[in-house]
Amino acid sequence: MLLTARLFIAVGLSLRGVASQTPYSETLGPLAWTAPGVFPTSLYQSYYNDPTATSAEPQPVITDPITHETYPYWITNPETIPESDTFEPHPFPPPVSTLELAEVAFQQILSIASSPGFGNDTCARCLAALEVGKFVALATPEQTSLLAVRVCEYYNFTTDCEGEYGPFDTGGVIAQVIQLADVAGYDGQMICNYFLSLCPVPPTSPLDLTNWFAKPKPDPLPAPKQPTGQRLKVLHLSDLHIDPRYTIGAEANCTSYLCCRPGVYNADNPEQVVLPAPRYGSFYCDAPYPLVVNAFQAVQELAGGDDGFDFTIFTGDLLSHDSHTLLSAMYTLYTETVLYDLIKQLIKTGPVYAVQGNHDTYNYAQNSPYNIENGLVNQYNWNYDHLAALWELDGQLSPEAAQQARTHYASYSVQRQDGLRIITLNTDFWYTQNMFNYINLSSSDNSGMLRFLTDELQDAEDAEERVWILGHVQSGWDTADPLENPTNLFYQIVDRYSPHVIAGVFFGHTHEDQVMIYYNNNATNISVANAQTVGWIGPSLTPLTAYNSGFRVYEVDSGTFEILDSYTYIANVSLFPELDGQTQFGPVFELEYSARDTYGGNITWDSSDPLNATWWHLVTEAMYADPALVEAAAAVVAVVGSEENGDIDPAGCLGQNSLYKTLGLPPGDEETPLLHDAHRTKPTRTPIPWSQLSILLVLQLAEPLTSQVIAPFAPELIRSIGITGGDEAKVGYYVGLMYSLFFATQAVTVLHWSRLSDRVGRKPVIMTGLLGLSLSMYSFGLSRTFWGLVVSRSLNGALNGNIGVLKSMMAEITDSTNIAEAYAYLPISWMAGGTLGPMIGGALSHPHERFSNIFGHMEIFKTYPYLLACAVPATFSSIAFLVTLFFLKETVASPVSIRRIIKLRKSKANLTLQNVVGADGPKPPTPFVSSKAAVEPLPLRALLIPRVIISAGNYALLAIVDISYRTVLPVYMSTPIDLGGLGLSPQMIGTILSVYGLMNGVIQIMLFSRVINRWGAKKVYVFGIASALPVFALCPAINVLARAQGYSVTVWTLLVVQTLISIPLNFCYGSVFIYITASSPNRSSLGSVNGLSQMSVSIMRAIGPAFANSMFSLSIDKEHHYLHGMLVYVFLACLAFVALGVATLLPTKVWKDDAEETS
């Protein structure tokens, strides 16, 4: 160690010797320097510790010269150094808005669809897209519907994505399901399979039945019940599908059902009715009232006898096969009320045990489980409560059973005194189209419905009772109707409790007369020994699709409750047209066949033995042996009324899978289409109601007359009252302000007038508006000060709510077939007003000078030179008031008097209490009713839906583009040429504007309807907005020519060209009115929608003139001359480009007028 040290010292000395021999510059310092051992404490004013200590590093107190903050000791103290920086901000991006989130989600879905990372795996793409949708549903549920609509429209899933997935249809259901479903797992695979066909069908989930059954199946089975020889008579009704909207004489052989409705047609001959709908129904239509009533009468006469039926079973489906957009909760309750009342009145029966069908709810087929985790557990109770109350009425169900139905999805269990237990199921919980089934589907019983069934069957087994199970959608027919998981569990339940407990299972849904056979052990060994239970599928009373109207009657042993025979009755629908035009005869109902007689001829079976599963299995064996028996069966099983089913394949009739064996033809497609077919409607044109339309056009004339009459003299009037102080540049500003006042005050009140008209009726509001127009115009003509003009124009706008109300009336007296033609005449009023108003204003201002021989001696016209011009439209409004009073018909169905509204508001609390209790005792709670079918006007918040906002937004932008140009135009024309105008007189301006108005009106009448029908409302609207751009560009161009050439032929030619090019801009009004009318959620809110749109327009019209004329004033300002006099035209062009951008949001196909279709 010592040696090593000495060695290093020696080496160091030798190196030092070498260094000392190196040349060294005199300018540098010493070769070495020894630092002091003490830290220079003078460097800092203060320290957190002792800087002279040698045991710790100095910690000076540091103050930042920029922030003037002193840094704390703990930030450098080794003992207190923070392990993570929690004391300073770490910025995250701000949250996006709900609309931005939906847009990002949409783009992500498109990216997933096109990403090469998924290869050809469409299922993985679909699941990933559902994950994106899930986060949208969780973060902003209301945007889920809009996202679904956008995806649908992008991929063209249907022709009416808004109608199917919008917020007023299944949008809310979709949001709930995507929120709660395991979209990356089994639920998502089933959604992508059934709804999008992008995933293969996942395998049926394995069942763990370890603790499902309280007791094992008895072995041996209890001794079977012994027959009594006494027969019960039971009626089986199914699939009534009454159509109260059935239209006699409409097309009954339409291209796409539902036929026998207005507007449907046959594609081979669309211009005429090929097969007029008979009074009693047709094969492609649901059942009209007369058919239902006659069928119920026939039931009693043919099979009821003097004693009637011991009881009746009804296996569901009351409502017509309407598309989703035509349905509502109100329509559902109406149909339930009608049909259960008819059964009660016309059929002599004991209790009626009924089930809810897939059509008997709203939205169609939707029922949510009570354990849903979003707080909406009672969202379908309105229907369960109503059904239970109807069933309880007059003792059809006991109060206890009715209460059970209220709390078990309209399902219940009834213990009859004769030893039979009836258990009903809501089979929507295994129906493929109930979207709520795709939440936790792997559980096989996400609703608890099958738990309820199992418990009731166990109670029946313990009580030694027989059971009938009633449902609507059959189990396990194919993958189009029942879901595999829940029906797989249902099979295990049937296997466990058959044949000793379950005596029969009864369904409807297929519209056919069919039978199912349940075998044990999942039908792994189909044999006579393993046949356990029969599933009876009842025929439909509705003829849809291509079936004779039918019902079934059973003879049942009162001890075993097994069916001894089944009788099917039908009416031959093909004969119904022969019954039209007379009232002596109705349809003939007759016995079609007996099951025992038709199928039992080749079977050794005692006459008193039941038609149980063993018997039906023997029937199928006989069919295999004798194909002729299949053909005979085919003639009756489907109750078919036409030949469209083609040849019968015996093997097809014996279709079977691993779970069941069934006898009958393939089921008819009873699914309700989500949408009308593209060929669904090519409506025949409804004649225009000219008498009322003419009155509306005359009344509409009042507003453009009063607003446009001041156009020629407004600049001169402003100059004459001295408000500008002689500054010509300020004229445009004050003229614009005067125009804006009308629309500003109208914006404040027009929505209230329109909403009031939804309540009290259109006529009272229109008459108030006309009276306001008249009085305010007289006041305007008598005003000699600027503030007098301000008050008059303000009253004019505030008292006038007619514009929105008149448009509502026009929509109410027309329909989708003639509304475009009616709106083509709307410009007559505006153009006539635009023609006559300026003409009157220009011709009748200063009448004491222009018509001195008539008015020269009248001092009033010298003092008030514009009174006569204002008096003409004022008087016209007074005459229009009288026309409204005596000749206009009210279009609001049940207007409420203003006195009544005031009284209702004052006694709102009492009224609410009366609605619940009433004079006649308690009433059932009011159900939720879809806004599409509501008869009451909706609240304002409910109107703020995308299509209303889009329509109103486009209308508002059109208005600001148009009004800005129209108010600048007369100022431009009257401004001297050297300042950028044309220097025309009021009379010439009036003439030009009048000619323009006349041309516009004529062209609109001749072309608007044709153009709309040819190119559609959107293309016409976009083209009209685009036409404004060259119109604006021509203004400075004409001024340049006028400066150089004066009033040359070229100048006048360009003025004519400008006028013609501006006409398409007015086509936009009719186009956007069509969108506004169609956007209304219901007919009763049409006035409010028009009022909302008009309010937005009035705001724009209040802003537009002031801004535009101010821009014009700045443009011609001699000192600044902004943009070389082009500022106003750049401003107008920018407005047009914004309007074009928003126009892209309009759908190519106008939204369906649901208000019209549900009326």
Instruction: Report how far residue 618's alpha carbon sits from residue 147's, in angstroms, rounded to the nearest whole number.
Output: 55
Residue 240, φ and ψ in degrees, nearest 5 = -70, -45
Same domain, 717 and 630: no
Same domain, 971 and 884: yes
Q: What is the pLDDT of residues 1004-1021, one digit of tens each?
A: 777 777 787 778 888 889
Number of domains the chain contains: 4
Placement of tokens 């009336």 in the chain? 809
Instruction: Report how far residue 162's alpha carbon sits from residue 504's, in angstroms, rounded to the nearest whole number.
Output: 43
Which pLDDT belongs to residue 860?
Answer: 85
- Angular region, 464: left φ>0, alpha ψ -120 to 50, beta rest: left
Which pLDDT belongs to residue 1126?
Answer: 80
In a domain, 213, yes or no: no
Beta bridge partners of 591: 569
In a domain, 916, yes or no: no
In a domain, 912, yes or no: no
Which pLDDT belongs to residue 384?
Answer: 96
Same domain, 379 and 326: yes
Whole-model pTM over 0.75 = no
Which pLDDT belongs to residue 817?
Answer: 65
Which pLDDT belongs to residue 312?
Answer: 95
In a domain, 209, yes or no: no
In one-letter notation, the amino acid at residue 780 is F
Same domain, 311 and 173: no
Which pLDDT belongs to residue 4?
Answer: 46
Same domain, 151 and 61: no
Residue 235's H or E segment, with its range, is: strand 231-237
Residue 469, φ and ψ in degrees, nearest 5 = -105, 125
Q: Classify strands 502-507 and 563-571 as parallel, antiparallel or unpaired.
A: unpaired
Which pLDDT belongs to residue 352?
Answer: 94
Which pLDDT belongs to residue 587?
Answer: 94
Q: What is the pLDDT of residues 40-57, one digit of tens each?
A: 999 999 999 998 888 889
Instruction: Report how far residue 446's alpha carbon sits from residue 436's, in angstroms, rounded to the nearest whole number.
Output: 9
Which pLDDT belongs to residue 893?
Answer: 61
Same domain, 302 and 397: yes
CB 388 within 8 A of CB 402: yes
Same domain, 74 and 111: no
Candidates 425, 447, 420; CA nearest to 225 is 420
CB 461 within 8 A of CB 443: no
In a domain, 852, yes or no: yes
In a domain, 139, yes or no: yes
Same domain, 636 and 720: no
Same domain, 650 and 717: no
Token digits of residue 365:
């087929």
In one-letter notation, the amino acid at residue 532 is Q
In degrees, rounded to 5, the angle at the alpha carbon of residue 1124 between the alpha carbons of residues 1105 and 1120 is: 80
In degrees, rounded to 5, the angle at the alpha carbon of residue 1087 between the alpha carbons of residues 1082 and 1091 is: 125
Other CB atoms within 10 A of residue 1015 CB: 13
Pick from 53, 81, 109: which residue ends a domain?
A: 81
Candidates 241, 269, 237; CA nearest to 253 is 269
Spell out, as residue ranges, where the chain has pLDDT lower than 70: 1-25, 477-480, 631-685, 729, 801, 816-817, 819-821, 823-824, 826-828, 831, 893-938, 940-942, 1082-1084, 1118-1121, 1151-1159
Other CB atoms within 10 A of residue 585 CB: 8
User: Which CATH number do you get for residue 287?
Assistant: 3.60.21.10
CB 829 within 8 A of CB 700: yes
Same domain, 1056 and 1014: yes
In a domain, 17, yes or no: no
- DSSP assignment, residue 795? H
In a domain, 933, yes or no: no
Pick from 663, 678, 712: which residue ends a domain?
A: 663
Same domain, 66 and 175: no
Same domain, 1029 and 1107: yes
Pick from 176, 194, 212: which residue ends a domain?
A: 194
Domain assignment of residue 70, given as a range? 42-81
- DSSP assignment, residue 309? B
Token digits of residue 383:
């229907």
Candidates 417, 423, 419; CA nearest to 465 is 419
In degrees, rounded to 5, the angle at the alpha carbon of residue 266 between the alpha carbons of residues 262 and 271 is: 75
Residue 506's H or E segment, with its range, is: strand 502-507
Which pLDDT belongs to residue 936?
Answer: 55
Which pLDDT belongs to residue 776?
Answer: 87
Placement of tokens 């603790």 in the chain? 211
User: Which CATH number do you get for residue 791?
Assistant: 1.20.1250.20
DSSP assignment of 855-906, as one string?
A: HTT-HHHHHSTTHHHHHHHHHHHHHHHHHHHHHPPP-SSS---HHHHHHHHH
Instruction: Report how far residue 452's alpha carbon sits from residue 448's, in angstroms, rounded to the nearest whole number.
Output: 6
Which pLDDT belongs to residue 902?
Answer: 47
